[in-house]
């Protein structure tokens, strides 16, 4: 056993999240989500691209679906589905660029199916979802090329981003695109804040799916997440008090 404490924490916190999720799905509780301006602005961005007759660009970021970046990629898929629905509604061209070869077929399928369920299967073209390169800066160069050649009017970047964040954000600003971005990688959030019109900070990225779809599963998941966060805060306060009182009890417990 690696650590009893970590295992017990996993079981307890996991049970809380699933419990709240199930309660929300069954209608026993109905959590509310606060307004998130960055997510509200997505429709405005797609609308502007429609008015200008130029494409919308979507990037799910650097992350893939098998490492620790996967939750952010999956959170991005939820928003992507919403963006596809909007572009289908407004008949606006969408370009999705991918770095991860693993998530590429999933994104193709997601975009194709969403267009189909929106009654616009013809809007999905061979070059709607484009794999650029697995090499970080080759991918970045490819995306910047698309910004310039196709003059994108809206640039939506949600997922795990690394050094390319500023290249995309500033590249998008240079072609005059309205930009919405969000990442869980804090080092890159500063670049998004500086160069984009709207930014999701930290875990707001995970709220995207719940906020945009109002799906009880996702809303319940989000509510469970918040309860776990409250418990964590209580735990931190307890730890601080005990450490100040020179007690090692909690420290010893978490290292067991």
Partner 1 sequence: MWLERLQNIDRRVIYTVLLIVLLAPMIKPIGIPLTVNQTTHQVYNLIESLDPNTDIVMIGMDYSVAGAADVHPQAVAVAKHLANRGVKMVMAAFVPDGPMLAERILGILGDRVTYGEDIVNLGYLAGGESAVKKFIDDPANTFARDHRGNPISSLPIMNNIKTIHDFTLIIDFQTGSPGYQDFLRQLPSDGPLYAVGIVTVSVPNVMPYLHSGQFAGLLPGLRGGAEYEVLIGEPGEGAARMDAQSLGHLVIVTFIIVGNVAYFLSKQQEKSRKK
Partner 2 sequence: MKRSVPLLIVFIVGSILLATYFFQNPTLDQARALLTNWGVIITAFAVGLASVNILRIHTARIANRRSGWFNSVALIITMFTFIIVGIYSRHNPQNTAAAELFSNLFDYAYSPFSATMYAMLAFYVASASYRAFRMRSFEATLLLAAAVLVMLGNAPIAEQIWTKFPVIGNWLLTVINTTGQRGIAIGVAIGGFATSLRILLGFDRGHLGYGE
Please give the residues from 26 up to 65 whose contact with partner 2 meets the rule CB under 8 A.
none
Question: Which of partner 2, partner 1, none has residue 162 at its interface (CB below 5 to 8 Å by kind)?
Answer: partner 1
Our finding on whether 133 is near partner 1 (CB under 8 A) is no
Residue 198 near residue 37, CB atoms below 8 Å: yes
Question: 161 or 206, CB closer to partner 1?
Answer: 161
Structure tokens at 48: 């502007």
Which residues lie below 8 Å from residue 225, measured CB to CB, with a gap of 6+?
17, 203, 206
Residue 215 near residue 209, CB atoms below 8 Å: yes
Closest CA to 181 of 197, 203, 162, 164: 197
Question: 23 or 162, CB closer to partner 1?
Answer: 162
Rounded-to-integer distance, Cα 134 and Cα 132, Å: 7
Q: How many residues does the chain have?
A: 256
Our finding on whether 106 is near partner 2 (CB under 8 A) is yes
Binding mask 73-92 for partner 2 (x = CB under 8 A): -xx-xx--x-----------
In the list 15, 26, 66, 214, the residue contacting partner 1 (rule: CB under 8 A) is: 66
Our finding on whether 163 is near partner 1 (CB under 8 A) is yes
Under the rule (CB under 8 A), what is the footprint of partner 1?
Answer: 3, 62, 64, 66-69, 136-137, 162-163, 174, 185-188, 255
């Amino acid at each position: 056993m690696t650590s009893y404490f970590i295992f017990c924490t996993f079981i307890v916190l996991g049970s809380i999240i699933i419990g709240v999720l199930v309660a929300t799905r069954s209608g026993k509780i109905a959590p509310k989500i606060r307004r998130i301006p960055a997510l509200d602005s997505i429709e405005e961005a797609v609308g502007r691209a429609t008015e200008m007759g130029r494409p919308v660009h979507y990037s799910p970021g650097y992350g893939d679906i098998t490492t620790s970046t996967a939750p952010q990629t999956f959170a991005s898929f939820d928003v992507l589905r919403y963006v596809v629905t909007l572009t289908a509604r407004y008949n606006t061209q969408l370009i999705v660029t991918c770095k991860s070869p693993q998530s590429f077929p999933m994104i193709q399928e997601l975009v194709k199916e969403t267009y189909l369920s929106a009654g616009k299967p013809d809007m999905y073209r061979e070059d709607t979802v484009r794999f650029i390169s697995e090499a970080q800066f080759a991918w970045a160069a490819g995306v910047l090329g698309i910004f310039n050649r196709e003059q994108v009017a809206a640039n939506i970047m949600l997922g795990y981003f690394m050094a390319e964040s500023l290249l995309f954000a500033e590249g998008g600003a240079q072609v005059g695109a309205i930009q919405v971005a969000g990442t869980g990688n804090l080092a890159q959030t500063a670049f998004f804040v500086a160069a984009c019109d709207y930014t999701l900070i930290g875990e707001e990225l995970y709220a995207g799916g719940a906020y945009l779809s109002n799906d009880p599963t996702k809303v319940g998941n989000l509510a469970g997440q918040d309860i776990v966060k409250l418990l964590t805060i209580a735990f931190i306060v307890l730890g601080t008090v005990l450490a100040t009182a020179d007690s090692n009890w909690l420290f010893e417990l978490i290292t067991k």
